C-alpha cells in the first residue's frame, strides 16, 4: 500500500468521526520538516530532540492544511502555557501523533478533540491510572488491555476538546467513559471550567490501518 493511499484512508476515517464542515488532515512524521515551521513555532521547540521536532512539524503542517480547507489564512500555531496548540481566533482544532503519523482536525462551530493511538493492548500496570474500578469491570475479561486503550483514547480526545475553552488540566479520574456499540459516552465526574459534573459528551471511534482514532465534538 502506498503512503498516499494510507493517508487517504486515515483521513476518510477521521472525517467519519465529525460533523460536516470539520476539516481533517493526516501527515507522515519524517525528519527535516521543521524548516516548514513558522518562527514562533520553531523557537518553541528549539531545544527539542529531532523526533519531537519531526512530530511537531507534521502536526503543524496538518493543522495548516485544515485551515486552508476552512478557507482561513495560514497561521502560526504556537504552544500555550498548558503545552496545547493555540489556534487562530474563531477556529477550534486538535492535533494528535502516533505510529509515525500526525493528524489534525479543525472547525468553526464547536470545540473538537482527536486522539490517535496504536490499536493494541495497553500494559496492565497502567490500567488503574486510566480507569476507575467500574470502567475496568465493564471491559471484556479476555480483552481488557485493548478496551483500556480505547478508554484512554476517548479520555484524551475529551481532554483536548475542552482545552480551548477551559485551558483546564485534569486527571483521568475526572471523566468516566462508557464504551458503546456506536462509540463512547464520557461523563464528567467533577466540575471542569464550564463543564459541570454530570455533563456527558458523546464520541466515536475509527479503526483503520492498525490504529484507533477517537473523535469528539463538545
pLDDT digits (tens, 9 = 90+) for 81-94: 778 899 999 999 99
Distance from CA of residue 125 to its chain's centroid?
A: 23
- Evaluate whether 37 touches 11 at the Cβ level (below 8 Å): no
Q: Which residue has the higher pLDDT, 205 or 190?
A: 205
- Evaluate whether 149 touches 129 at the Cβ level (below 8 Å): no
pLDDT at residue 1, as a whole number:
59
Extract the C-alpha cell encoding 134.
467500574
pLDDT per position as a tens digit, 131-148? 999 999 999 989 999 999
pLDDT at residue 155, as a whole number:
96
Residue 189: strand, helix, or coil: coil
Instruction: Give 171's pLDDT tier (boundaries 50, 70, 90).
Output: confident
Question: How many CB atoms within 10 Å of residue 104?
Answer: 30
State pTM to two decimals. 0.93
What does the domain layout of the chain look like in residue ranges? 3-111, 115-217
CATH topology of domain 3-111: Ribosomal Protein L22; Chain A (3.90.470)
pLDDT per position as a tens digit, 10-53? 999 999 999 999 999 999 999 999 899 999 999 999 999 999 99
CATH topology of domain 115-217: Ribosomal Protein L22; Chain A (3.90.470)
Domains 3-111 and 115-217 in one fold: yes
pLDDT per position as a tens digit, 161-170? 987 776 677 7
Amino acid at each position: 500500500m502506498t503512503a498516499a493511499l494510507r493517508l487517504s484512508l486515515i483521513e476518510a476515517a477521521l472525517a467519519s468521526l465529525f460533523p460536516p464542515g470539520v476539516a481533517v488532515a493526516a501527515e507522515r512524521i519524517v525528519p527535516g520538516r521543521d524548516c516548514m515551521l513558522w518562527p514562533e513555532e520553531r523557537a518553541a521547540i528549539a531545544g527539542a530532540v529531532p523526533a519531537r521536532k519531526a512530530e511537531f512539524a507534521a502536526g503543524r503542517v496538518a493543522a495548516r492544511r485544515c485551515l486552508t480547507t476552512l478557507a482561513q489564512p495560514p497561521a502560526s500555531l504556537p504552544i500555550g502555557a498548558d503545552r496545547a496548540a493555540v489556534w487562530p481566533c474563531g477556529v477550534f482544532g486538535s492535533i494528535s501523533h502516533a505510529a509515525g503519523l500526525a493528524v489534525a482536525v479543525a472547525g468553526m462551530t464547536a470545540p473538537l478533540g482527536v486522539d490517535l493511538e496504536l490499536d493494541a493492548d495497553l500494559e496492565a500496570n497502567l490500567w488503574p491510572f486510566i480507569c476507575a474500578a467500574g470502567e475496568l469491570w465493564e471491559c471484556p475479561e479476555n480483552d481488557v488491555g485493548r478496551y483500556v486503550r480505547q478508554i484512554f483514547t476517548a479520555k484524551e480526545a475529551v481532554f483536548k476538546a475542552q482545552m480551548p475553552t477551559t485551558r483546564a488540566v485534569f486527571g483521568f479520574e475526572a471523566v468516566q467513559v462508557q464504551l458503546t456499540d456506536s462509540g463512547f459516552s464520557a461523563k464528567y465526574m467533577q466540575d471542569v471550567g464550564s463543564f459541570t459534573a454530570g455533563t456527558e459528551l458523546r464520541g466515536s471511534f475509527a479503526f483503520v490501518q492498525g490504529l484507533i482514532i477517537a473523535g469528539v465534538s463538545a
